[in-house]
Structure 1
Amino acid sequence: MNDLPAIKDIITDARDFLAEQGINQWQDGYPEDSVIAGDIDRGETVALKDDEGTILAIASLVKGIDHPYEAITDGTWRVTGTETNYVSIHRVAMAKASRGHHLTHDFFDLMLEQIRLDPEVESVRIDTHPQNFGMQHVIETNGFSYIGLVPVTGGQPDERNVAYDMVLDR
C-alpha cells in the first residue's frame, strides 16, 4: 500500500497517454482508486522497479475465473478456464519516464516467469482496447495469440476488447 500514490500516478499518466492517442480506453475513470487498492490488498499487483526503488511499470496478475472472459465471442480460449488453471494480466501501465526505453518486453518476461512458478497455471489471458495498437503489438510480440472478443469491464453492453492467450510450455 506504500506504493499506492506512485501507482495511481502511473495510471493517471497512462490514461492521459491513451487520451492523447484518441483511444477511449480508461477514459471513464477506470481503474478507480478502489480497484487499484484492491489489487494491492489481494497481492495481485506486480511492479517493475529500478535500483532506487522507483516504479517503472505495473500490472495486476489475477488467478482464477475472470467472469468477463467467460463471455468470449468470435473465438474460444485454448485452455478451458477453472479456478486455478489460468492467470489474467490486467491494468498494465508504464511510468511516463519509462516509455521509449524498451522495458515492456522485460516486464512481460518477468511476469511470465513469475506465473510459470505456479504448477497449476496452464495459460495466461490478456485483453486490450481494439484501438490500442501499441498494446496489441506488445502482447503479440510477447508470444500471445489473438483469440476473440471479450466484454469491457464496466463498459457498454456491446463494447468489446480484443483478447489473447498464451498456453504455457512446461
Structure 2
Amino acid sequence: MELKIRQATNSDLNKLMDIFDAARKFMQATGNANQWINGYPQRELIAQEIASGHCYICLNEQETPVGTFCFIEGPDPTYSYIEGGNWLDEAPYWVIHRLASDNSCHGVFEACIKWCIQQTTNLRIDTHSDNKVMQHLLEKNGFTRCGIIYVSNGTPRIAYQRHQAS
C-alpha cells in the first residue's frame, strides 16, 4: 500500500486531532505514558503549524488521513545544545516533529521518512526515553542516536540524526 503525503490544511484539523488522540492511546498502551501528556499537541499548536506550512498529512489509498508529521527547516533552538554525545555534523538540516499515526495501517513512519529524505539528506528528530517503538523505528531506518536534548519545557529527549551524502 502506497501512502501519499500532502500539506495539511485547516479542513484537516479535526482529523489531525483524532490521529493525535489515537497516537496518545497507542503510546500509553506501549509503556510510554509520559510523552504527549495534558492534551499535547494542542489544537492551537497544530493550527499554527498548518498556517506556517509545516504540517503534513499521510493519506491511504482511499485518501483517508492515517498519519501526520511536522517538517521544519532548522536550525531548531532545542537542538543547539546536546549532551552525552554530538550531532553527526553541523550542516543545514530539517527536523521532523510530532510524527503520529492513527494505527489503522502500517507504513506511516516509513512513508514519512521516505518523503522527508526526498526533500533533504540531513534529518534530525527526537523522542522520549519511554518511546521504545519510535527508538526502534529510527534505528531500523538509518538514524544515529546522538545524545540528549531538552525540549522547551525542560524535559530530556533522545536526539537522532540521519545524514546521507547527496
TM-score (norm 2): 0.86
In the alignment, structure 1 segments of 5+ residues that lack a partner are: 117-121
Displacement of 1:46 in angstroms is 1.6
- Out of 23, 28, 45, the residue aligned to residue 35 of structure 1 is 45
Secondary structure class of the residue paired with 1:126: strand
| Structure 1 segment 26-105 matched on structure 2, within 5 A | 26-80=36-90, 85-98=92-105, 101-105=106-110
Q: Which amino acid in the other structure matches residue 90 of structure 1?
A: H
Matched with 1:7 is: 16
Q: Counterpart of 1:5 in 2: which secondary structure?
A: helix
Conservation of the 8 A alpha-carbon contact between 1:79 and 1:123:
no
Code of the aligned partner of 1:108 = I
Q: Please, what is the CA RMSD of the aligned residues?
A: 1.6
The offset of 1:126, in angstroms, is 0.3
Q: What do residues 34-69 of structure 1 show as CA deviations (whole Å, max 9, x unaligned)?
A: 111111111111221123221121100010221111
For 1:7 and 1:153, locate their aligned partners in 2 and report how far apart those are by CA, in whole Å: 23
1:108 is aligned to 113
Question: Percent identity at matched positions?
Answer: 31
Q: Distance in 2 between matches of 1:153 and 1:9?
A: 24
The aligned amino acid for 1:106 is A
Q: Is the 8 A contact 1:60 1:89 kept in 2?
A: yes
**2:5 alignment counterpart:** none
Q: Name stretches of at least 5 consecutive residues in structure 2 with no aligned partner.
A: 1-9
Q: Is the 1:19–1:27 contact (alpha carbons within 8 Å) kept by the matching residues of 2? A: no
Q: Which has the higher contact order (CA 8 A, sep 6+)?
A: 2
Equivalent pairs, count = 156
Counterpart Cα distance in 2 of 1:33 and 1:56: 17
